[in-house]
Structure 1
């Protein structure tokens, strides 16, 4: 079982400080915690808890801010939302309407992107283990770009394309061997990581790719990690290496039409510094601008993370031998990040009365039978009674998509807020669905 989360070394931000950095959230004296113009307590009461809630306004604002930063830097750029962080149809509809495409890593994500109305001409397929079936699906849809991650995958793409009589637009993903200084489980640009081809091999592999049937080489790609908050130095180093590679490929007469810069821009969950989209755009411009090529970005967390919360209700407050435990009805099967990554999420009561009450250290835990089902240790919270509701902040990315039915706990519903409106955009999983697809062999029934 996972160890409990470590205690923070410095004081946590206050409720007011947390909300000040999240303009789509506010604390109303009467209605409590609001998302846009909807009281979250109303959603908790009508829909029940646990429940995911997303702000359409926050999604739009962040998508526009990123696009504006790229344009202001003078970059010709397209943005492809990394669906692995949130694949909800309604979320994709909002972002698609803002002109964002999709970055997918499975046939399932490709299917959802198309169902959400994302045009195939705006879809990039990434990932180290695309199957033959997924490659056929991508080619049948005629998507914008496939990011190949190995010489072996390039052979697969060529064979499938030739078999189907199609031409695949392929970018070669390069591993620049740059440490993004992020969590070890989400770094992707170091030489020991499974992603991409070694920089030293990239030119030869690209030349070989250009000679294969069924492939149109379109450029080079990289992605150095997720939740990058350590400044722009890693990005600059990675992009500088891509620039040198692009120049070498062009000198050899090989086509390079665009550069895929990946994603990974981090957000501030607690009080850590978070780089701005303007800083990222500046790093791209400084490192790649002289190539005069279009660039692509594949952000996920930066757009969707702050836009979502997970609502939960207090089951009971328990005084243990050493700690006060606040047991809530959400669990690690819903939000696994604290258990998997030791991640910190802000926790805010929905009630304005509770939010202004005296605070004491609390352990916030779920009902799953694992010690690892711990959301927070030593967190300053008011006394919370059964039925009181709380919100886990910044849960719009790597939240619902990573949830499971562990302990036979049904998947929580998802709700979209837009101004004064809200709607359930994925219903709560019924208990009978936990049995769907299961069968008892005949010999056990006789």
Structure 2
């Protein structure tokens, strides 16, 4: 569910006309709905509670790291899953308590580990033996035993896009399943390490609960093995990955996901840590753009928008689908014709949709790309020296710019010219 609907022929974000925001902010821009963020978080956490799970939800900042978005979740009780020092700093700036922050990621640097240890966060999910040794050295030097979970790669195929699967043995993430027990024994012997749990994350945008069940059963087996060997396993970090509908997908309801956790792991007495990202923010955001030109090509019609692949990377990177609609509601009997929706960047890959059936849209019209709240602004860049687009947060009948569009002077000021030039 989202809160972007046509009212009297105009698309609104909650109670704010999208065209009104465009008139004040300019295009392109991202727009997020507070009501949708709250609803998605509430539905997810209620499903966990109704399943009787002792769970902590840690929002995955990589999906949408805007401080206002993160603070919205923090005020609801969410923690944060971060994968860099920058994301950790954003979580802290948003008011996420340190005892609800988990640090994941395969390439944490010494500086990042040092910062995390100094802040006293809840847990670091360790992904390799070299990282384990580096973390122990850093923590022991400060007289600390850092709580950790080893991220175990269960070699389960998530059945999702190849670029966002993370739980197969050929992926770069986690400790190989067959070596997990050996590495846990090594961790126990290190002076700066306190083993508290197991971490597992198999991928993103899963639309079937069965791969989760397979991974959770492997986690269960490992818990039994480790407890038999004297380990106090009290936390299970199960990652995120539950999918959302972009087009025709029918992902399982959070209640079905919660039941899968309950059925496989619910009797182990462990605190469950979950790291949803896309699930919470995907449908809570849209990208708003204005059509610059309608170009009649030799074989097809192109709608050239002022948004580009640097603003919304997913179609170019994953051939991802985003529903595209005009801000002015089309007539129900309006004819639909196939068009290519493209951006102005000098790349053929700067294409949002090919031969998409759309109602009549002319130059100057506003269009929206739906389900753009996750991995939209987070993955944007300044390619072609295009400014990062603003982000806007709506609540009821009000809106605020929560990331401003930088000026060209701001962008140029980041460069410097050496003396010899």
TM-score norm. by structure 2 comes to 0.98
Q: Shift of the alpha carbon at 1:294?
A: 1.3
SS at match of 2:57: strand
For residues 54-65 of structure 1, the aligned pairs below 5 Å read 54-65=32-43
1:194 corresponds to 2:172:
yes
- Give the aligned partner of residue 7 of structure 1: none
- The match for 1:342 among 312, 315, 319 is 319
Q: Shift of the alpha carbon at 1:29?
A: 2.0
- The match for 2:4 among 25, 37, 41 is 25
- The match for 1:397 among 364, 374, 386 is 374
- The match for 2:128 among 150, 154, 160 is 150
Q: Which moved more, 1:162-171 or 1:402-411?
A: 162-171
- The match for 1:102 among 80, 104, 109 is 80
Q: Residues of 2 paired with 1:97 and 1:275: CA distance?
A: 27
- Give the aligned partner of residue 359 of structure 1: 336
Q: Shift of the alpha carbon at 1:353?
A: 4.2
1:294 corresponds to 2:271:
yes
1:118 corresponds to 2:75:
no
CA contact (8 A) 2:2 2:283 kept: no
- Give the aligned partner of residue 286 of structure 2: 309
Q: Residues of 2 paired with 1:285 and 1:441: CA distance?
A: 61
CA contact (8 A) 1:349 1:355 kept: no
Q: Residues of 2 paired with 1:194 and 1:183: CA distance?
A: 15
CA contact (8 A) 2:200 2:237 kept: yes
Q: Residues of 2 paired with 1:274 and 1:37: CA distance?
A: 28
1:321 corresponds to 2:298:
yes
Displaced runs of 4+ in structure 1, greater than 6 A? Answer: none
CA contact (8 A) 2:239 2:275 kept: yes
SS at match of 1:134: helix
Q: How many residues align?
A: 421
Q: Alpha carbons of 1:356 and 1:405: their partners in 2 closer, same or farther (altered >3 Å)? A: farther
Q: Alpha carbons of 1:284 and 1:223: their partners in 2 closer, same or farther (altered >3 Å)? A: same
1:248 corresponds to 2:228:
no
- The match for 1:435 among 412, 418, 421 is 412
1:67 corresponds to 2:51:
no
1:257 corresponds to 2:234:
yes
5+ residue gaps, structure 1: 1-21
Q: Residues of 1 paired with 2:415 and 2:24: CA distance?
A: 31
- Aligned-CA RMSD value: 1.0
Q: Residues of 2 paired with 1:129 and 1:349: CA distance?
A: 42
Q: Residues of 1 paired with 2:240 and 2:134: CA distance?
A: 26
5+ residue gaps, structure 2: none
Deviations along 1:399-443, one digit per CA (max 9) or x if unpaired, are 001000000000000000011110101101111122133121211
SS at match of 1:416: strand
Deviations along 1:147-181, one digit per CA (max 9) or x if unpaired, are 00011111011000012222211001000000000
Q: Residues of 1 paired with 2:329 and 2:110: CA distance?
A: 54
- Give the aligned partner of residue 205 of structure 1: 183
Q: Alpha carbons of 1:117 and 1:416: their partners in 2 closer, same or farther (altered >3 Å)? A: same
SS at match of 1:284: helix
For residues 412-423 of structure 1, the aligned pairs below 5 Å read 412-423=389-400
Q: Shift of the alpha carbon at 1:275?
A: 1.5
1:159 corresponds to 2:137:
yes
TM-score norm. by structure 1 comes to 0.93
Q: Alpha carbons of 1:422 and 1:354: their partners in 2 closer, same or farther (altered >3 Å)? A: farther
Deviations along 1:324-373, one digit per CA (max 9) or x if unpaired, are 10000000000010000000000111012477632111100000011000
- The match for 1:40 among 18, 34, 45 is 18
SS at match of 1:279: helix
CA contact (8 A) 2:57 2:276 kept: yes
CA contact (8 A) 1:57 1:418 kept: yes
